[in-house]
Amino acid sequence: MKVLIVGSGGVGESTAAIVKRRDPKAELFETMVMADYDLAKAQAASARQGDEKRFPAEQVDAADVGAVVALCAKYDADVLCSFLPVELNPYTLQAALKAGVHHMDASTTLSVPHPTDPFNQAGTVLGEDELALSGEFEKIGKLGLMGIGVEPGMADWYCRYAADHFFDEIDEIGVRDGANLEIPGFKGISFGFSIWMTLEECTNPAVVWERERGFYTVPPLSDPEPFYLPEGIGWVECAHVEHEEVLHVGWFESLLKGVKKATFKYALGDEFIAAMEVFTSVNMHSLKPVNVKGMQVRPRDVIQAAAPDPNEIGKRYIGQTCAGTWVKGRKDGAERQIYLYQVADNQESVALYGTQGVVAQTAFPGVIALELLATGRLQGYKGNPEAGVFPAQAFSCDDFVRLQGEYGFPGGVLEMDSEYKRARDHGAFLAPVEQADS
């Protein structure tokens, strides 16, 4: 398989590092092009892999569809991976369609708030514009793999895994994310992931799905609740954040055992939430340009340029980050709730891949998806292979969770009692399905 990565930041570089470790002899991934608007960034990501022939660097403007198509042709790419600020996804999706290649991204196309009632009604939701291209991808016989990161991505596969192996009926799915990451001696706010995307998620109205009501919105960072995270992280406070998994559950609820509700909540910490409130109070999260000494500048771009680079400062974090899917329902007539999760240790990630834990954790599901695609094991619910645009939960989850351990990102299952206390930890659930069913 030949892969073109557009966006050679943390997720792009982590993808290359994971591929190099997984497939050192290039038996599966023949070429992985590291492309970026900033050629120096692409060259640095390429050089760190120690094989500039297999991981060549290229300069490209992702908004120039023709240039991206030409780059696909130059390297005879099979897949175009977009690891860019998501406002550029529409361009890479069109490039993939014109080039006749598969497309994969870690975050989907952006939402547009409801014009008159944004904190109650959904407008254009995350990924809606991307899903609308499904027919175009069907025409060229290719896949648009939408939101194949850790959240969304792994969390979506966990929705399917829970439905397929742990429940007869599902009432609610809630993706929950948190960490105990810190930088010893550091004072101030640091971003562990894309600054641009963090501001987007934490200041937009958050979306919720209910079977009887459909999609609706609530204020960002609202309705905080305690949640227990495993492997030493402990109790955190999670609040509503806009995220794709909620949409994916609503669109593909027929695969999820009668699910009635979906939410996404994230643990950000009091200091970070206070910073978000300051940013929004003075419109620093805004994408509307303002005049600064005769230049038109978007305030959010100023924060992104001024704040420490997440890919670099993130290497200084000590601690773990946890992502996962909380599912409530019934099995064999008994009430049940479980949390399917993956924990990444930041120092281990830096040692293994040279990138911080959050971006490595985001990258590994995409590499697994590429391996499944290359080996013909990415089985969709309508057949194999499937053409069109789909999130991860539309595909069989069993091979994905089996491969997690081989990739060094094993998952776990935490089962809680009816009073929402930790009951027992199944440990890694990468055993054969018949064992996981027990």
Evaluate whether 195 touches 245 at the Cβ level (below 8 Å). Answer: no
Per-residue confidence (pLDDT) for residue 420, from 0 to 100: 53
Per-residue confidence (pLDDT) for residue 382, from 0 to 100: 59
Closest CA to 179 of 318, 65, 35: 318
Q: Give the mean pLDDT of the chain.
A: 91
- Domains along the chain with CATH numbers: 2-105 (3.40.50.720), 154-357+410-436 (3.30.360.10)
Per-residue confidence (pLDDT) for residue 373, from 0 to 100: 94
Per-residue confidence (pLDDT) for residue 422, from 0 to 100: 52
Distance in angstroms between the alpha carbons of the first and the last residue of the chain: 37
pLDDT in tens, 27-77: 999 999 999 999 999 999 999 999 999 999 999 999 999 999 999 999 999
Q: Give the angle 431-435-438 at the CA atoms, nearest 5°.
A: 140
Which residues of 166-280 form beta strands (DSSP E)?
A: 169-179, 206-210, 214-218, 225-229, 234-240, 261-266
Three-class secondary structure assignment of 98-164: HHCCEEEECCCCCCECCCCCCCCECCECCCHHHHCCHHHHHHHCCEEECCCECCCEHHHHHHHHHHH
Per-residue confidence (pLDDT) for residue 435, from 0 to 100: 38
Per-residue confidence (pLDDT) for residue 437, from 0 to 100: 43
Evaluate whether 218 touches 206 at the Cβ level (below 8 Å). Answer: yes
Can you list the residues of the chain whose pLDDT is less than 50? 427-428, 430-438
CA 27 – CA 16 distance, rounded (Å)? 14
Evaluate whether 92 touches 69 at the Cβ level (below 8 Å). Answer: no
Q: Is 0.85 topped by the overall pTM?
A: yes
Evaluate whether 311 touches 355 at the Cβ level (below 8 Å). Answer: yes
Per-residue confidence (pLDDT) for residue 194, from 0 to 100: 82
Residue 424 class from Cβ within 10 Å (0-12 exposed, 13-18 middle, 19+ buried)?
A: exposed
Per-residue confidence (pLDDT) for residue 428, from 0 to 100: 46
